[in-house]
Amino acid sequence: MRRPGHLLLILAISIGLVTGSAGAAVAAAPTKAEVLASWTQTSAASYASWNSARQNQQDWAQYSFDWSTDYCTTSPDNPLGFNFELACYRHDFGYRNYRAAGQFDANKDRVDSAFYQDLQRSCDTYGSVVRPACDALAWTYYQAVRIFGFLVVTDADIERAKRIKEASERQAANR
């Protein structure tokens, strides 16, 4: 059985080790800002910590995070079968919570970069034949949020990636 304070203690120790104040970090729970920052970094470890918390939201209830999501907004969550849902979910989490904290502008670029890294990690799970199409879509999704602040991916963008995917599949079939 998981105890709610257990995850807080692990996070507090982790933050303390990074900042060099392990003793003080164990004595006090991390602030909401510290937890939010730790879950919106570009690393796979940051993503894994956020995803674990997402699956155990009750353990983090005292922070009153906004866990709502519309995934990839009006753009497809799974374009051409590539699963971008969790990358979009974490991106929503970062945007919504930094806006609520009044810290959006200072953190937008990092949240967008974390989104792109999450998309790339998602693409890395696909075979080398279709990965170029996934990478092209990941770049398009990233550019949309970086420039517009939300996902605006057009049918033409999806069609361009579809052509890349089909060409790669044909080339692989002819080998």
Question: Which pLDDT belongs to residue 26?
Answer: 57
Q: What secondary structure does DSSP assign to 110-126, as a single string? A: HHHHHHHHHHHHHHTTS
Domains identified in the chain, total number: 1
pLDDT, averaged in runs of 10, over the chain (175 residues): 48 49 66 99 99 99 98 94 98 98 97 99 98 97 86 82 91 91
Any domain includes 18: no
**Structural domain boundaries, residue 111:** 32-174
Cα 106–Cα 109–Cα 165 angle in degrees, nearest 5: 165
pTM for the whole thing? 0.77
In a domain, 68, yes or no: yes
- Residues forming the active site: 91
